[in-house]
Amino acid sequence: MTAAVFFGCAFIAFGPAFSLFIFTIAKDPLRVIILIAGAFFWLVSLLLSSLVWFIATKATNAQDLTLQKNLLIFGSIFSVILQEVFRFAYYRLLRKANEGLAAISEEDGPALSVREMAYVAGLGFGIMSGAFSMINTLSDSLGPGTVGMFGDSQYYFITSALMTLALTLLHTFWGVVFFEGCERKRWWVIAVVLCLHLMVFSLSLLNPFYVGSILPVYAIMLLMAVWAFFSSGGSLHNITLLWTCRKSNTETSS
């Protein structure tokens, strides 16, 4: 549409990821490395799954639209499964590489705990996934026109940005929960993450019925936020501690 929409959508889609990066990742070079490597793993999974989809579409009739749509759905499901497989592969890689990371880190002992790695890896997946979802749409939002000539909704850009935001945060939370589950050998966690990922994908198929797709996705995101909070060592006790700490701080300072 215009610069206003471009910046608005860019901030919506990448604002949280950007702030997470600045405040938690940018200072530690090791975290940056794990973030980039995580993004790369996601990218490879997308590449392999898109290869499968590409071969499938080339091998079939390009004019048959329902077939192409079904192939797209099949390709996306395959991509979701492959993303989780690569997440698991990244977990294994990080566990194995812990020794090497310890060697190059400045502190003694383990450089990063598994939880930190989980969070960073999840964020890496999220950023790359968000970038691939949103950059193309963002670049077209700079022009003077908006979507709608062929019957699409005019809220296309803002809902794409909201969806990207949700997906980025979801990938982060899934990363935390997933690694924790693998660490504790709770394999059902992996299955639940996979199912939730597939559910989010199928909700996105409901577009342009945005009420039916965005609201449930945000509900799932809040659920995952709570789960990730608890699985990374948080608890209600800590929250109350925080609150009283603040209260006592304000009392002492005043």
Partner 1 sequence: MVLESSKWVMFIVCWLFKNVSCNSVAQKIYVELNNTVPCVRLLNATHQIGCQSSISGDTGVIHVLESEADLEWPLSKGPNPPYMVLLESSLFTKSIMMKMKNASSRVAGVVVVPKTSLPEFSPHTTCPNENTGVYTETYDHNLAHCNTTVWNPRGNGLSYEEFDFPVFSLKEDNETEIIKQCYFDHNRVVNGSGLQYPLCAMQLFSHMYAVTDTATCMRRSSIDFSSFPVKVCEPLGGYNVLAFIRPYNSTAFGHKENESVVIAAARLDSRAFFLEDSAGAEGSVSGFVTLLAAAQALREATQEAPPTRNILFAFFNGEVFDYIGSSRMVYDMKNNKFVIDLDNVHSILEIGQVAVRSGTNLFLHSDPVSRRNNTVHDEVTNLVKNLQSSTAGLNFSFVETGFSQPLPPSSFQRFLRARAIPGIVLADHQTAFNNRYYESFYDNAAHLNLTYPSNLSPEEQLEFVTDTAKSLTEVATAVARALFKQAGGNNSQVNNINADPKTVTQMLYGFLVRSNNSWFQAVMAPELKDVLQPNPPWYYVGVAKLSHQANALTYLVQYLLANLTGTATNLTQSQCKKPDELPNESTYMYSYFWVQGVVPPNSTQRESFCIRTAVRLAKAVSPAFVLGDYVSKEYSTWTESQWKFIKARIFLVASRDLEMLTLGVGVAVLFTSLLVTYFVSTKADVLFSVVREPNNAAY
Q: Which stretch binds partner 1 (CB under 8 A): 11-19, 39-47, 82-90, 217-225?
A: 11-19
The CB-based long-range contact list for 41-46 (8 Å cut-off, 24+ gap) reads 41/86, 41/87, 41/89, 41/90, 41/124, 41/125, 42/83, 42/86, 42/124, 42/125, 42/128, 42/129, 43/128, 44/86, 45/79, 45/82, 45/83, 45/85, 45/86, 46/79, 46/83, 46/132
Q: Which stretch binds partner 1 (CB under 8 A): 18-26, 74-82, 122-130, 196-204?
A: 18-26
Kindly state whether residue 170 participates in binding partner 1, applying the rule CB under 8 A.
no
Which of 83, 129, 133, 232 contacts partner 1 by CB under 8 A? 232
Which of 62, 251, 252, 253 contacts partner 1 by CB under 8 A? 62
Kindly state whether residue 23 participates in binding partner 1, applying the rule CB under 8 A.
yes
Q: Which stretch binds partner 1 (CB under 8 A): 10-18, 86-94, 197-205, 217-225?
A: 10-18
Which of 29, 145, 208, 212 contacts partner 1 by CB under 8 A? 145
Kindly state whether residue 68 participates in binding partner 1, applying the rule CB under 8 A.
yes
